[in-house]
Amino acid sequence: MTTHQTKNINIISTKDSFHCSALRTVIFGCNAGLAAGAIVLVPVLILQLVRGVGVVPEMQLAASSLLGMSAYAGATGFILGTFLHFFVSVVPSVAYALVVRKLPSVNRWAWISGPILGVIVFFIMGLLVLPLTAFTTPVSVTPMPFVPALLIHMFGLGLPISLLIQRVWKSKRAL
């Protein structure tokens, strides 16, 4: 009977450890996504300022996927757009962390897998997500050109996500 109880405790302990580890992976994926979301804003905002677009319309551009043209009137579009920007950076980051958890070999090549993640996010957003939304731009706001937008997704979003997750994986603090 004692042996049986010990086995039950071990089984429960193993399941709890698994769930805890999966939860830590998701939490760290969220953290990496938030960090990458902040990192990717730097080149985006610099490029938009150089193009004369500004900071606020860039965030409103994201909000227009839900609000349409009304996203460009007032602070609501800016706030919602900022939330959506970070949400869109967290989702692929969590997905990448979960993939790395199951396929650790992906993590060994973070300098390659990160930019590939950025390309995947870029095309999923452009070909699948945005066409299904109310995404629109006023005449005064032109979307970023294709090549700079793709490069920013590769090296401003995907690469930071992969390198942050690789660092934690190596330190064995999470995942």
Average pLDDT over residues 19-43: 90
Lowest mean pLDDT among 20-29, 39-48, 133-142: 133-142
CA dist 167 and 33 (Å) reads: 14
Domain membership of residue 17 (yes or no) is: no
Predicted confidence at residue 99, as pLDDT, reads: 95
**Domain range spanning residue 88?**
29-52+83-171
Domain membership of residue 139 (yes or no) is: yes
Domain membership of residue 2 (yes or no) is: no
Domain membership of residue 128 (yes or no) is: yes
Higher pLDDT pick, 56 / 121: 121
Q: Alpha carbon 160 to chain centroid distance? A: 10
Residues with Cβ < 8 Å from 146, sequence gap 6 or more?
none
Predicted confidence at residue 59, as pLDDT, reads: 87
CA dist 107 and 91 (Å) reads: 18
Predicted confidence at residue 11, as pLDDT, reads: 41
pLDDT tens digit string along 136-152?
Answer: 777 666 778 899 999 99
Instruction: Give the chain's largest Cα–Cα span.
Output: 76
Residues with Cβ < 8 Å from 92, sequence gap 6 or more?
33, 117, 120, 121, 157, 158, 161
Lowest mean pLDDT among 52-56, 103-107, 130-134: 52-56
Domain membership of residue 87 (yes or no) is: yes
Domain membership of residue 151 (yes or no) is: yes
pLDDT tens digit string along 124-139?
Answer: 998 999 888 888 777 6
CA dist 48 and 39 (Å) reads: 15
Residue 169 has pLDDT above 90, yes or no: no
Residue 17 has pLDDT above 80, yes or no: no
Number of domains in the chain: 1
Question: Helices 159-171 & 110-123, crossing angle to 10 degrees?
Answer: 140
Q: What percent of the chain has pLDDT over 90?
A: 56
Enumerate helices (H) and strands (E) in the chain, giving the number of each: 7, 0
Domain membership of residue 10 (yes or no) is: no
Residue 43 has pLDDT above 70, yes or no: yes
Residues 67, 8 contacting (CB under 8 angstroms): no
Domain membership of residue 59 (yes or no) is: no
Residue 50 has pLDDT above 90, yes or no: no
For residue 54, count other CB atoms closer than 10 A to its CB.
13
